[in-house]
Structure 1
Amino acid sequence: MVCFSFNEMNTKKTLIELGLGQIISLLFTFLAFSASEVTRQGINAPTTQSFMGYLSLAIVYGGIMLYRRPAIKVSNVKWYNYFLLAFVDVEVNFLVVKAYQYTSLTSVMLLDCWAIPCVLVLTWVFLKTKYRLMKISGVVICIVGVLMVVFSDVHAGDRAGGSNPVKGDLLVLAGTTLSAACDVSEEFLVKNTDMTEVLAFFGIFGTIVAAVQISILERSVLKEIHWSTETILLYLGVALALFLLYSLVAVLIQTNGATIYNLSLLTSDMWAVLIRTFGYHEKVDWLYLLAFATTAIGLLIYSMKEKDEEKQRSGEVVSEQRKFLDEEDGESLRSSLIVAST
């Protein structure tokens, strides 16, 4: 039985979380437009677009770690965990940006919805997160809002774009599935270790992986690019947006989890329509506005707390995760003692 009272809802905290989610959604929309614009210019270098973002994370948060070195507690997380997280994230960006060469902007943004059921399953299996009726209802309402967009007359023409829509859609689905795994892994890390450490190592390993991939796949492409002022500014804008996106996502995932992050991204398609409406004076279909309102209601419902059980369950999950890390560290210590004794 779901027990809920509006009096128990921390309105200010919930509104801040929802606002943070929409800032992230806007940044995601900007990145989608930027990737589409780079592709339109004939530049086929998807990893290059994300390289500067990883580099900025490495410089800023790596510098903070060095400055705060005595104050930062060394975590039990092994370096290869950060490497795997960064490696998969680089491939996610590669697959999704690559998809813009074959399918439309709208298709990419709509197919991102696949991340939601993936995140729900992964958090349930690996993080032991329990979703009750209130949470599931919020997810369903959010998805209904996106389905309204799919059936809109405005989208009917846009979805037909792309040289190979099927291939593009498959790339998006593959990237979205890997992205869900990244989000759940990041949720585990930021809730059990220092966030600065997570972002620093994520940026360092992301920079290394991206640099190697660029040297193998995109070196010849970069030599042919005409680096105009517009192109340079576009890449710098992408780097800044990625830095802000990864930083804010870490905060949102730490406080609310990976699911609310992916639900917040559902509004990115609506933001794209508003940008086209006011920036390019395109006509907007009324169904978009209804879809935006529906998704917002779903986010609000999902953000509501079901009495004190939510905090209790969250505390139990974090305790189990920290216990796992302590056991792993204890096992490493025992192994070291055995080696030393021999």
Structure 2
Amino acid sequence: MVGFKGLFTKKTLFGLFLGQVLSLFITSTGFSSSELARRGINAPTSQSLANYVLLAIFYGGILISRRNGMKAKWYYYLLLGLVDLEASYLVVKAYQYTSLTTVMLLDCWSIPCVILLTWFFLKTSYRFKKIMGVVICVAGIVLVIISDVHASDRSQSGSNPVKGDLLVIAGATLYAVCNVSEEFFTKMADQVELLAMLGLFGAIFSGIQISVFEREELKSIHWSSGAVLPYAGFAAAMFLFYSGVPVLLKISGSTMLNLSLLTSDMWSVLIRILVYPEKVDWIYFVAFAAVALGLVVYSLFDKEVDEPRGDDVELGKSKHFDEEADMAGRLS
């Protein structure tokens, strides 16, 4: 039995609070992307570029001022930057085809992906009752897909809801890879190093992708004040989100990060009701109930997640990088 005392430690409360702050940032990015899509601005890579540049400048400056060597190899961050960019591209692209609420809900697909990846790569074990909570959450996702398939007549469902659903699921899968990788690097290397290198390589890949796929699109865009504000809001929210993610990953891990972001669905519904002149399909509320129930079941058995102790993780990671550095020295 787990007592209430362990539930309300400062670390737990801070993790819960930070998770909701990050959830609000994600909702803000979804709202901004939806607004840009409604104004005919379809340049998802360009939206991500500003965030990566901000990360590279801010955290890169801190990293350079430290004048310390890097703890992880640069090519790890190169791959991470590429995967992160494409994950963001797919999700932002989905706003052109489906609704804001659908995108937020289907992002939940990252949860089972994260659990599978942490179990396989980080050796985190999840017991049966924990998995049941995740299964209930996924059931809510299935309801949304069914709703989009059979609701093509819904005025604000998007031009191609099924295509949008598939794009979000693909993006959520890549986000899961990013989250688990970031948890690994946050505990193995350094948060500032992670964000600086992620920003650097993300900006490089964004520039390449923009020059190939979005150059003509950018030329045709008329940047009025109504378009600049959502774009700037997206960049600011993404920068703050990326800045807070490593902190939560270090405290609670990538699974809890994704569970915390489930509440972004609730925030998106509030925005949709208050800002957009449209109604919310009743099936979304059923999906919300399923996701909420799954989250409760998962949280009730939170202590049943068997993760390596912090000291063991740090020791193992340090040994890994030391061995890699020794090997590189011999080769050189």
Category of TM-score, reference length = shorter chain = 0.7 to 0.9
Which of 41, 44, 48 is equivalent to 1:46?
Answer: 44
Contact 1:129–1:317 (Cα < 8 Å) also in 2: no
Post-superposition Cα deviations, 1:243-300, rounded to whole Å, max 9, x if no partner, equal 0010111111122111111111211111111233445587777768856864663564
Question: 2:273 matched to 1:273?
Answer: no
Mean alpha-carbon deviation: is it higher for 127-136 or for 231-240? 127-136
Structure 1 position 231, deviation (Å): 1.0
The AA in structure 1 aligned to 2:296 is: I
How far, CA to CA, are the matches of 1:145 and 1:242 in structure 2?
Answer: 26
Q: CA-atom RMSD, angstroms?
A: 3.0
In the alignment, what sits opposite 1:22?
20
What aligned pairs does 1:1-342 form with structure 2 within 5 A after superposition?
4-67=2-65, 69-70=66-67, 73-132=68-127, 135-136=130-131, 139-140=134-135, 161-279=157-275, 294=293, 297-298=296-297, 300-301=299-300, 304-305=302-303, 313-336=309-332
Structure 1 position 125, deviation (Å): 0.9
Measured at CA, do residues 215 and 289 of structure 1 come closer, stay the same or move farther in structure 2, by a change above 3 Å?
Answer: closer
Structure 1 position 324, deviation (Å): 2.0
Contact 2:95–2:164 (Cα < 8 Å) also in 1: yes
The AA in structure 2 aligned to 1:187 is: E
Measured at CA, do residues 177 and 97 of structure 1 come closer, stay the same or move farther in structure 2, by a change above 3 Å?
Answer: same
Post-superposition Cα deviations, 1:77-129, rounded to whole Å, max 9, x if no partner, equal 11111111111111111111111222222222222121111111111111111
How far, CA to CA, are the matches of 2:276 and 2:45 in structure 1?
Answer: 29
Contact 2:112–2:134 (Cα < 8 Å) also in 1: no
Mean alpha-carbon deviation: is it higher for 197-206 or for 266-275? 266-275
Q: Give ranges in structure 1 of 5+ residues lacking alignment.
A: 337-342
How far, CA to CA, are the matches of 2:77 and 2:217 in structure 1?
Answer: 29
In the alignment, what sits opposite 1:340?
none
Over the matched positions of the two proteins, sequence identity in percent amounts to 53
Structure 1 position 48, deviation (Å): 0.7
* TM-score, scaled to structure 1: 0.84
Mean alpha-carbon deviation: is it higher for 125-134 or for 236-245? 125-134
Post-superposition Cα deviations, 1:302-331, rounded to whole Å, max 9, x if no partner, equal 6x445xx95754443443333222221222
Contact 1:18–1:300 (Cα < 8 Å) also in 2: no
The AA in structure 2 aligned to 1:80 is: Y
* TM-score, scaled to structure 2: 0.86
How far, CA to CA, are the matches of 1:269 and 1:126 in structure 2?
Answer: 29
Measured at CA, do residues 251 and 131 of structure 1 come closer, stay the same or move farther in structure 2, by a change above 3 Å?
Answer: same
How far, CA to CA, are the matches of 2:146 and 2:159 in structure 1?
Answer: 22
Measured at CA, do residues 281 and 297 of structure 1 come closer, stay the same or move farther in structure 2, by a change above 3 Å?
Answer: farther
The AA in structure 2 aligned to 1:53 is: N
Structure 1 position 197, deviation (Å): 0.9
Structure 1 position 238, deviation (Å): 0.8
Contact 1:145–1:294 (Cα < 8 Å) also in 2: no
How far, CA to CA, are the matches of 2:222 and 2:92 in structure 1?
Answer: 20
The AA in structure 2 aligned to 1:256 is: S
Q: Give ranges in structure 2 of 5+ residues lacking alignment.
A: none
In the alignment, what sits opposite 1:339?
none
Matched residues, number: 327
How far, CA to CA, are the matches of 2:308 and 2:258 in structure 1?
Answer: 23
Mean alpha-carbon deviation: is it higher for 292-301 or for 315-324? 292-301
How far, CA to CA, are the matches of 1:275 and 1:196 in structure 2?
Answer: 33
SS at match of 2:159: coil
Mean alpha-carbon deviation: is it higher for 128-137 or for 113-122? 128-137
How far, CA to CA, are the matches of 1:158 and 1:281 in structure 2?
Answer: 13
